[in-house]
Structure 1
Amino acid sequence: MPERHPHLGLSAVEIAELVNGGKFTAREMVDSALAVGADRDEQLRAFTTWWPEEARARAAEVDAARADGVYLPLAGVSFAVKGREGVRSVQNQRLVDAGCVPVGATAVPRAGTAWQTYGVTDRGPTLNPLNPDWSPGGSSAGSAAAVAAGLVPLATGSDGAGSVRIPAAWCGIVGFKPTNGLLPARDRAGLNSPGVLTRTVADAAAYYRAVVPAAVPAPSSRAPRVVWSPTLGYADTDRDVAVTALRALRRIGRAGLCELVDHLVPLRDPAPAWTALRSGSADHGTEALIRHNTRVLDETFREADLVATPTTPHPPHGLDGPGSRMSVALTWAFNLSGHPAITLPAGRTPAGEPVGLQLVARHHADTALLSAADTFNCT
């Protein structure tokens, strides 16, 4: 562990264990994150604003609480706040209450630019730590880049159509969207759920326990049954992306960690219903599409515990934008339906591009989803 920057390479859970165990102070961990950010973020451009004074003051409060014997499950964990969400949102305030320390705000796309999937700063666009020629995704672009680059172990996001899962997949990390409605939506339509970006599933689970205090642990059971769908019945998914994600899922199955179940998932493209709900113009066509997809998903979850797909239908595009491709094609169906979903790193295409494996569970089966994902992620 580098003594000068003790937080580097550590997960949120590991940092909290060290701070709660008295081996480091919250102030030392926060100073480490601030120093690394000052050194590396000028070129990465994950953050638009850093909050050093506020972060050190909050770290001092965490250390004072620890000195009084108070246990904080995420003591001393530096985290990044998406865009203009602010520290007073429900998810961020609950993270602070658990001992986390917000250190700054991350980059998001410029307002009014259709489907722009990279962050904007006064220094230029946010870069993908895996390859600066690739978009880091959006809209939680800066959050994904900050976590993938190791500036912080955890960053908040919000996911209205895939805005947590897509940047996580393209930056090679974990992105989790809880069941819609467990946390206050970020939009009037109820499509945009708060979420988190981390490097480990264990950290995503720690986030969930902190922000959903009534979370019930998942009971241990048999290996989950998983239905694979590369297109969900409508998406134009690149072959290399589908093959890479399926290869990861089959590897998990061969390890005995899941059982693959043959079952079609013939959803209708959610685009018109999502757009209508977002604009407040829902009609009978919207209701019919939602009823169809609800019926298909209900039938699917009677046959299986999880649905697996590639997270995106294509690999990261360049910083010039996605063109006509819909990066959200495989994610926004579950904003419309409200199911919890997580993306895990699934490997690379033959061209070296990152691919995510998306796992979706029944409503309110968030802890079971996280438990399965944690097991899968260990392979």
Structure 2
Amino acid sequence: MAEIASAVHAGTVRAVDVVAEALERIGRADPVLCAFTEVWAEEALRRAGEVDALVEAGPPRPVRPSGPIGGEGPGARAWLPLAGVPVAVKGRHGLRAAGPLLAAGGVAVGATAVPAPGTPWQTWGLGAHGRTVNPWRADRTPGGSSAGAAVAVAAGLVPLATGSDGAGSVRIPAAWCGVVGLKATNGLLPSRDRTGLAAPGVLARTAADAAAWWRAVSPPTTAADARPSLPRTAVWSPDLGFAGPDPEPVALARAAVDRLVDAGVVRLVRPPAPPLLLDPASAWSALRDPGSDPAALADAHLVRAENNRRLARLFAGAELLLTPTAPTAPHGHEGPGDVYSTALTWAFNLSGHPALSLPAGFGTDGCPAGLHLVAPHGREALLLAVAGAAERLSG
């Protein structure tokens, strides 16, 4: 993605041509993948032309010291750092969340598929051409609810797509489609979710691309997290004490952890107590439903408070918590039965911690799996830096 912006700034390629190529890819592949509900070809080409005109005119003077059009000097942000980058936005109402990306020079090309109203929860995405499919196996779900976003990125239709994560809706499709998915700290960025359980996120091909999204939308990052010393201390948990995941996703995630340890990216430590959380399922459901009875809400707050206490104790002795992202491989479109794909992710929507899914290899079915990294509140830059180090060291 950085290569696109650099080439547009250098004048070796025009934003209009980059966007036209993305639209051509979408037109060719989307009838099969069904990743998009709408494609905004005319508006995207018009906006790309505006980006080309801005680049040709050069940065404004004097340059402001902060914001999407950044300043110069320590901590300043580059001018139009996403110049000409095609961006997909989650759902028909996703343009509001994409505002900082557009101000940074990105070009919105369309709205990605999400579950349609009234469809079964297993139907994670419904695009303009039909049911959204996993790009690795069409008979498998891509996960959701940021289904089309993950598929569009994994299939190379766009380098970046916005998402939102209320129970794992960014991280699960990232794992099952083999891309990077980041959920921000709850409450740190604007969200339309009134329950406070959902947070904005991003799906990207690489940690570097996800970091570019974070720089565009986030408050300034601390230098200590942006350039971390390695290795970082981490605790591994296959199940958080309650989830009961299948053996294969656990084995794939653990193998990814071992690679990080061997590469010097993380160092596993033994916590004072095992990383055991209370199952958040009933608490999440009660907090999500405005009609929940007072007793259920009281129990939900007790579960949240106890898990927060246990996580605070864990993060007092380690910088990262590592788990599989999903408890199963991608299931068929008919659904997984009684197994919730959110089992390892929604605890951190209750607690608000930032979390990232990193590709962890492929299962025997040919589909990807994910390694789940969780960090203390406000430490997104740490997650991205560790993920980036893992990518660089692994090649």
Same fold? TM cut 0.5: yes
Whole-angstrom CA distance in 2 between matches of 1:239 and 1:117: 25
Q: Which secondary structure state, in structure 2, belongs to the residue aligned with residue 307 of structure 1?
A: strand
Whole-angstrom CA distance in 2 between matches of 1:273 and 1:52: 43
Give CA deviations for 1:5-41 in whole Å, capped at 9, x if unaligned. Answer: xxxxxxx222111111211111111011011111111
Give the TM-score, by structure 2 length: 0.90
Q: Which residues of 2 match residues 134-153 of structure 1 at below 5 A?
A: 134-153=140-159
Pairwise CA distance, 1:285? 1.1
For 1:7, the equivalent position in structure 2 comes to: none
Instruction: Give 5+ residue unaligned stretches, structure 2.
Output: 60-78
State which of 248, 252, 277 in structure 2 corresponds to 1:267.
277
Pairwise CA distance, 1:216? 3.2
Matched, 1:194 2:194: no
Whole-angstrom CA distance in 1 between matches of 2:19 and 2:306: 49
Q: Which secondary structure state, in structure 1, belongs to the residue aligned with residue 316 of structure 2?
A: helix
Tell me if the contact between 1:117 and 1:141 (Cα under 8 Å) persists in the aligned partners. Answer: no
Whole-angstrom CA distance in 1 between matches of 2:147 and 2:315: 31
Whole-angstrom CA distance in 2 between matches of 1:59 and 1:220: 36
Instruction: Give 5+ residue unaligned stretches, structure 1.
Output: 1-11
Matched, 1:208 2:214: yes
Tell me if the contact between 2:354 and 2:375 (Cα under 8 Å) persists in the aligned partners. Answer: yes
For 1:299, the equivalent position in structure 2 comes to: 313
Q: Which moved more, 1:209-218 or 1:16-25?
A: 209-218
Matched, 1:66 2:72: no
Q: Which moved more, 1:198-207 or 1:40-49?
A: 40-49
Pairwise CA distance, 1:354? 1.6
For 2:17, the equivalent position in structure 1 comes to: 28
Whole-angstrom CA distance in 2 between matches of 1:370 and 1:169: 16
Pairwise CA distance, 1:251? 1.1
State which of 329, 344, 357 in structure 2 corresponds to 1:330.
344
State which of 45, 52, 62 in structure 2 corresponds to 1:56.
45
Matched, 1:16 2:30: no
Pairwise CA distance, 1:114? 5.0
**2:83 maps to amino acid:** A
Whole-angstrom CA distance in 1 between matches of 2:203 and 2:122: 19
Whole-angstrom CA distance in 1 between matches of 2:343 and 2:85: 34
State which of 209, 225, 229 in structure 1 corresponds to 2:233.
225
Give the TM-score, by structure 1 length: 0.94
Identical aligned pairs, as a percentage?
53
Whole-angstrom CA distance in 2 between matches of 1:123 and 1:318: 19
Whole-angstrom CA distance in 2 between matches of 1:147 and 1:192: 21
For 1:246, the equivalent position in structure 2 comes to: 254
For 1:4, the equivalent position in structure 2 comes to: none
Moved over 4 A (4+): none
For 1:3, the equivalent position in structure 2 comes to: none
State which of 288, 303, 313 in structure 2 corresponds to 1:278.
288
Tell me if the contact between 2:179 and 2:204 (Cα under 8 Å) persists in the aligned partners. Answer: yes
Tell me if the contact between 1:115 and 1:322 (Cα under 8 Å) persists in the aligned partners. Answer: no
Pairwise CA distance, 1:117? 4.7
State which of 78, 91, 94 in structure 2 corresponds to 1:83.
91
Whole-angstrom CA distance in 2 between matches of 1:72 and 1:270: 41
Pairwise CA distance, 1:256? 1.4
Matched, 1:234 2:223: no
Give CA deviations for 1:71-99 in whole Å, capped at 9, x if unaligned. Answer: 31000000111112231x1x300000000
Counting matched residue pairs gives 366
Q: Which moved more, 1:284-293 or 1:117-126?
A: 117-126
Q: Which secondary structure state, in structure 1, belongs to the residue aligned with residue 337 of structure 2?
A: coil
Give CA deviations for 1:311-357 in whole Å, capped at 9, x if unaligned. Answer: 00000001112221100000001111111100011012234332100
